[in-house]
Amino acid sequence: MEPGQTFEVDCPFVRDPYREQDEDGVITTLTWKPGVIWEMVGPEDARARAHGVGRVRYTVVSVHNLPRPYPARVFFLRKWISPEGREFGANKLHVMTRDAFRRRCHSYQPAGADQWTELVVEDMSADEREKALGQ
């Protein structure tokens, strides 16, 4: 891992209603948000669903080796790339151990998911879009 090195990983995205105010009133549009939604598929089971797959890009800023017993730390920037190809995200500096960063660069795992979680990628139906937009 060297400063300036970038890593890109596939990442699930869901559509999220975004409300904004303009001179005509409130407008609601659907935007992309990283993550999954959980849907019940039985009395005691749920599945992870994404509306599309985009990417997340990690750019290494610096790697610091600390004295024992502390593990090395990686400082990095993160940018999201929506399924439509639009890049977004703040220029916030993140830090984690080298091993945790390597795991993150191997695959993106949404909150609540584990290695056995089945991810279903299925876009919103017309009815779901209307409901999300409040129509």
DSSP characters over 60-95: EEEEEPPSTTSPPEEEEEEEEE-TTS-EE-----EE
How do residues 13-34 score in pLDDT, each as one tens digit? 999 888 888 888 888 888 999 9
pLDDT-above-90 percentage for the chain:
51
How do residues 74-84 score in pLDDT, each as one tens digit? 999 999 999 99
Q: What is the pLDDT of residue 130?
A: 84
- 8 Å CB contact between 5 and 60: yes
Q: How much is the pTM?
A: 0.82
How do residues 29-81 score in pLDDT, each as one tens digit? 889 999 888 888 878 777 889 999 999 999 999 999 999 999 999 999 999 99
Q: What is the pLDDT of residue 29?
A: 84
Task: Please report, as a single letter, which amino acid is at residue 39.
Answer: E
Answer positive or negative: Cα dihedral of 107, 112, 115, 121.
negative
Q: What is the pLDDT of residue 39?
A: 85
